[in-house]
């Protein structure tokens, strides 16, 4: 955070220096007493124009500060270096810029899992368990130390693991307050204030330019879309601790072998992630499922897994699913606002429209495919059919479905047909997103004159 503060101070000084260099040298003024004087008498207004550097600086700095502050990554492995941690953060910042809705999807999944954890603990009588506790557990904040005498070594546990162990008296309920957990978080108030200010300035700038009929560049529109998506992401991670480096140790009063033996046949299979896979196997996720399906290497390779990945897919219900659907569609729809923008060439205008439509259309198709497959797996289509045409048999059919579900072996995701049905959407999405990113820079070579005109009140709003 000290490095970031230094960068913010440097960026402020650099912005002032660039403005000074960009501004034309004012002609020397004279007065009656000293013809050679270079002083200017009275108030001098700021120039009504802005330069290319102003557009680029405002947009890129706002995107950088938003993606930097929004990320709440999981606790790293104890043997990872600072370099590894920084590289992972830069990697996720790049994802938050290229495809911010992916980070939003993972964040909403963590939000949904945390909420489910709170409901489980409250039902068990542990009212002090909060969303902050749930996030901390699911990010790998608790390290389980098995009792001596067993062969198992310490490993990270999720909130579901913790609930199972506490309920069966293998582990005491962790008496950790919200304040203690938040004390491990490295939230930087100054950085967040600057971030909020930059977001406010960018949004106000776009609104002001639209109201006064001034040109909005595609770079500003794309930055606005990323900022809006980032705001939704920050809502999901509102109670998640930031940049926790070391987990809390929890000492179990039983061995792992004892837990597995008393769990029965459900825990008999060899584990893939942790010995408690029969409770929560950390799936489905991009790394553990999709990369494995595509025969790509995964990290970390050590088992039990030494850290939890940040790419677990969501299993949302109700308003949380609607929240994610609305946010992703809004992000895609913002690009459609550039439908009638003035582009350097007719071809670029057509490509922007086509790419924007692909971005929005693929998002809609994804939600249709995902909802259809999810309803099929959960038997919702069957329930709708019997409720509409054979309501008298609905109860019997539902009991039979639940009985079959309990006896079935869970299918490994992604299913082959699901993967290949979504694959074309991913390819066309990548191509469309790639062009939209390229165009925000290409357009700067030729802009309408009023794109460089300031909103008459925006220049008086202080900003970085």
- For the chain, what is the mean pLDDT? 83
Confidence of residue 387 (pLDDT cuts 50, 70, 90): confident
Mean pLDDT across 418-430: 82
Window from 10-19, 295-304, 405-414 with minimum mean pLDDT:
10-19
Q: What pLDDT, in 10s, does the model give residues 29-51?
A: 444 444 446 788 888 776 778 89
Helix (H) or strand (E) run with residue 59 in it: helix 52-70
| Distance (Å, whole) CA 69 – CA 47 | 33
| Distance (Å, whole) CA 237 – CA 243 | 12
What percent of the chain has pLDDT above 70?
Answer: 83
- 17 has a pLDDT exceeding 60: no
Window from 4-8, 147-151, 180-184, 189-193 with minimum mean pLDDT:
4-8
Whether the pTM exceeds 0.85: the reply is no
Confidence of residue 339 (pLDDT cuts 50, 70, 90): very high
**Tokens found for residue 390:** 């054979």
Q: What pLDDT, in 10s, does the model give residues 312-324?
A: 888 777 788 889 9
Mean pLDDT across 296-308: 81
Q: What pLDDT, in 10s, does the model give residues 82-98?
A: 999 999 999 999 999 99
Q: What phi and psi, each to the nearest 5 degrees, are found at residue 99?
A: -140, 75
3-state secondary structure of 122: helix
Nearest alpha carbon to residue 114 among 237, 234, 230: 237
Asked if residues 80 and 300 have their Cβ atoms less than 8 Å apart, the reply is no
Mean pLDDT across 377-383: 67
Q: What pLDDT, in 10s, does the model give residues 109-127?
A: 899 999 999 999 999 999 9
Asked if residues 327 and 229 have their Cβ atoms less than 8 Å apart, the reply is yes
For tokens 């606002």, what's the residue? 337
Query: What is the pLDDT, as a whole number, of residue 403?
Result: 61
3-state secondary structure of 390: coil
| Distance (Å, whole) CA 175 – CA 178 | 10
Nearest alpha carbon to residue 174 among 158, 164, 184, 162: 162
Mean pLDDT across 221-244: 93
What percent of the chain has pLDDT above 90?
Answer: 50
Asked if residues 110 and 237 have their Cβ atoms less than 8 Å apart, the reply is yes
**Tokens found for residue 88:** 């992972």
Give Cα 2 to chain centroid, integer Å: 24
Higher per-residue confidence, 5 vs 401? 401
Interior CA angle at 199 toward 196 and 204, to 5°? 125
- 392 has a pLDDT exceeding 80: no
Instruction: Name the most confidently modeled range: 54-68, 263-277, 419-433.
Output: 54-68
- 55 has a pLDDT exceeding 80: yes
**CA torsion, points 62, 199, 324, 349, in degrees to nearest 10?**
-60
- 155 has a pLDDT exceeding 90: yes
Asked if residues 101 and 327 have their Cβ atoms less than 8 Å apart, the reply is yes
Q: What pLDDT, in 10s, does the model give residues 184-218?
A: 888 777 888 888 899 999 999 999 999 888 999 99
Confidence of residue 162 (pLDDT cuts 50, 70, 90): very high
* Partners of residue 248 on adjacent β-strands: 142
Q: What phi and psi, each to the nearest 5 degrees, are found at residue 196?
A: -60, -40
Rg (CA), the chain: 27
Q: Pairing between strand 142-145 and 248-251?
A: parallel
**Tokens found for residue 32:** 């009656």
Nearest alpha carbon to residue 288 among 315, 316, 312: 312
């Amino acid at each position: 955070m000290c490095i970031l503060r230094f960068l913010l101070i440097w960026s402020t000084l650099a912005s002032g220096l660039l403005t000074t260099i960009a501004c034309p040298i004012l002609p020397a003024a004279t007065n009656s007493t000293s013809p050679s004087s270079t002083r200017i008498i009275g108030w001098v207004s700021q120039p009504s124009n802005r330069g290319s550097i102003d557009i680029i600086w405002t947009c890129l700095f706002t995107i950088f500060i938003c993606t930097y502050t929004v990320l709440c990554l999981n606790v790293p492995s104890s043997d990872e270096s600072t370099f590894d941690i920084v590289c992972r953060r830069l990697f996720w910042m790049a994802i938050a810029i290229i495809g911010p809705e992916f980070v939003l999807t993972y964040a909403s999944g963590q939000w949904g899992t945390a909420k489910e954890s709170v409901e489980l603990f409250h039902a068990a009588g542990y009212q002090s368990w909060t969303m902050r506790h749930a996030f901390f557990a699911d990010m790998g904040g608790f390290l389980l130390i098995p009792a001596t005498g067993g062969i198992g070594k310490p490993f990270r546990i999720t909130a579901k693991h913790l609930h199972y162990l506490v309920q069966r008296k293998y582990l005491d309920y962790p008496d950790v307050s919200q304040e203690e957990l938040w004390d491990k978080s490295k939230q930087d108030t100054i950085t967040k204030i600057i971030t909020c200010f930059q977001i406010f300035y960018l949004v106000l700038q776009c609104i002001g330019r639209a109201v006064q009929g001034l040109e909005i560049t595609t770079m500003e529109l794309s930055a606005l879309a990323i900022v809006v998506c980032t705001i939704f992401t920050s809502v999901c991670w509102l109670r998640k601790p930031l940049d926790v480096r070391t987990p809390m140790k929890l000492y179990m009063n039983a061995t792992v072998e004892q837990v597995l033996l008393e769990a029965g046949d459900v825990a008999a299979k060899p584990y893939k992630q942790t010995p408690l896979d029969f409770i929560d196997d950390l799936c489905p996720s991009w790394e553990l499922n999709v990369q494995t399906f595509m025969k790509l290497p995964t990290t970390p390779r050590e088992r039990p897994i030494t850290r939890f990945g940040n790419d677990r897919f969501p299993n949302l219900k109700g308003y949380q699913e609607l929240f994610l659907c609305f946010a992703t569609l809004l992000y895609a729809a913002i690009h459609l606002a550039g439908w009638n923008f003035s582009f350097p060439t007719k071809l670029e205008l057509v490509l922007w429209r086509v790419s924007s439509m692909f971005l929005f259309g693929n998002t809609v198709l994804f939600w249709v495919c995902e909802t259809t497959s999810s309803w099929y797996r959960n038997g919702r289509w069957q329930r709708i059919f019997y409720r509409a045409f054979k309501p008298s048999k609905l109860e019997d059919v539902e009991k039979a479905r639940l009985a079959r579900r309990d006896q079935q072996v869970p299918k490994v995701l992604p299913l082959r047909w699901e993967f290949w049905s979504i694959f074309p959407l991913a390819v066309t999405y990548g191509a469309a997103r790639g062009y939209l990113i390229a165009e925000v820079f290409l357009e700067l070579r030729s802009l309408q004159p009023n794109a460089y005109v300031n909103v008459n009140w925006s220049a008086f709003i202080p900003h970085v």
